Amino acid sequence: MDGLGPPPLLRLPRSPLADPHLSRVASWILLGSALSLLLYAGSNLVYTANRQGELANAWDRSHPQAGPGALSPAAVTFARPRLADGQPLARIRVPSIGFSAIVLEGTDGRILAGGPGHLDGSAYPGEPDNVVISNREAFSESWSNLRTGQDIVMETDYGTFTYRVTGFKVVGADDHTITAPTGKPTLTFLTCHPLWAGSLAPQRYAVLAELER
């Protein structure tokens, strides 16, 4: 024995979360953040539903004859006049999942807050290239139930066009290859991935379809 005795105990700094008061504060902050996110998502969904109701009523009043047989897809061999952002382009219907919405021209935040938007510069329904439709996550959840071989119907003021789903793809948020021209009559529907992540989603979920002949 050298008489030095046992070494002193090492005292670790106390974690701030060990304080019951701070733990309660942290819990309340987390709960408040979760409730805020739920309220934000809920208010967005209500706004979108109300906006779509207004757009659908206006569409029905101005397109009483829209429907199957209005024009054969093969008849669209000319470029359509380009619409201004915010103007209605088409009604998109997906019978297999009960989805129906009015598509406006443009994809800025104001337009997408009210429903799906058509990417400026991409093809219009029936044209021999890629029709790109973008939609917010809260209004796209049912699209996860879509399957290959099911139909996406685009009703326009110049005809009704049916696209058949050929596949699905997950891409990065900055991947623009999915919206590039295809040189054939296709449709690409884009939304956030994962759907629940909203604007924080790091990827995009794409539904790919081709015009039925």
What structural domains does the chain harbor? 61-211 (2.40.260.10)
**Pairwise pLDDT comparison (196 vs 86), residue with the higher score:** 86
pTM recorded for the entire structure: 0.72
**Pairwise pLDDT comparison (7 vs 48), residue with the higher score:** 48
* Of the candidate ranges 62-66, 72-76, 121-125, the one whose mean pLDDT is the lowest: 72-76
3-state DSSP percent of the chain in helix, strand and coil, to 5: 35, 25, 40
Query: Among 213, 208, 210, 180, which Cα is nearest to 73's?
Result: 213
Q: Kindly report, residue by residue over 115-165, the tens digit of the pLDDT.
A: 899 999 999 999 999 999 998 765 677 888 899 999 999 999 888 999 999
φ, ψ of residue 89 to 5 degrees: the values are -105, -45
Residue 28 has pLDDT above 70, yes or no: no
Helices of type H across the chain: 20-62, 109-112
Percentage of the chain with pLDDT > 90? 42
- Rounded Cα–Cα distance for residues 202 and 135 (Å): 15
